[in-house]
Amino acid sequence: MFAETSAALAGLALIAVELIRSVPALLRVQRTGTSDGVSGMSLGVLAGTGLGWLALALLVQSWWVLAANMLWIVIHAVLCREVARTDTRKRREIVLAGAGSAAALAVATIGARFFMPVRDALGLMLGVSTLFYAVPAAYEGLVSASTRGLSLLSLGVNTLEGSIYFLAGIAVLKIAEAGDPVFGFAFFGVVSIASNGVRFVRVAYRRMKGLDQAWPRAAAPVAAAQP
């Protein structure tokens, strides 16, 4: 009974975290009309591997993770559309990275299947794929001249979500029926904590200093010429 209650609480927390992290990220882009600091490549990789995460949740019988991922996929699709509207370059990145990551994940998983069980093969490939999401996301968030498109709340909750996935992956939180360690969950958790943590620090600093409130120089009104 305790294990079932623990699994239910952890699962409900994961779904709540999914909403709290995904919705503010979407609303931030919609409200500001910009995707500054948001990586199109990162969004594309996440979109392309989404079905893989659903499949992994099914294989390990983690129904709470499955529900959370289904919710995330819907919100993420809308976020991709909104970001694509703000930047032509990012639109291309989303499409190309999405198609490429989906194809690469399928081929790599099939290949790894000859050496290990399909669940382990899929978990391994999804774990590796998180690097292709996290590194571009961290890079864009750190080098972008503005971070107006990034939600501070979303980044903070992403770090918390990474912690939940890590604890689930090492079987501390029992949110999978089998209760076994899941490499894909654990690795995703570690990478997510690192990627979102550094961006959280930069965005928090810029918000405290008011650096994202000013318009870029190119967008500022041109002063009237003096006589």
pLDDT tens digits in sequence order for the chain, 227 residues long: 555 666 677 778 778 878 888 999 999 999 999 999 999 999 999 999 998 888 888 887 878 888 888 999 999 999 999 999 999 999 999 999 999 999 988 888 888 878 888 878 887 888 788 889 899 999 999 999 999 999 999 999 888 878 877 887 887 766 555 556 777 778 878 888 889 989 999 999 999 999 887 544 444 444 434 44
Judge whether 115 lies within some domain: yes
Judge whether 221 lies within some domain: no
Residues 6+ apart with CB under 8 A from 60: 119, 176, 177, 178, 180, 182
Query: In terms of residue numbers, what domain contains 194?
Result: 2-207
Judge whether 46 lies within some domain: yes
| Residue 61 · residue 9 · CB < 8 Å | no
Give the pLDDT of residue 155: 93
Give the pLDDT of residue 87: 93
Judge whether 215 lies within some domain: no
**Count of domains in the chain?**
1
Single pTM value for the model: 0.79
Residue 7 Cα distances to 47, 184, 192, 205, angstroms: 27, 18, 22, 36
Q: Identify which of 4, 21, 8, 6 has the alpha carbon closest to the alpha carbon of residue 162.
A: 21
For every residue of 95-158, DSSP letters joined together read: HHHHHHHHHHHHHHHHHHTTTS-HHHHHHHHHHHHHHHHHHHHHHHHHH-S--TTS-HHHHHHH
Judge whether 216 lies within some domain: no
| Residue 56 · residue 109 · CB < 8 Å | no
CA-CA distance, 48 to 41, in Å (whole number)? 10
Give the pLDDT of residue 226: 41
Judge whether 99 lies within some domain: yes
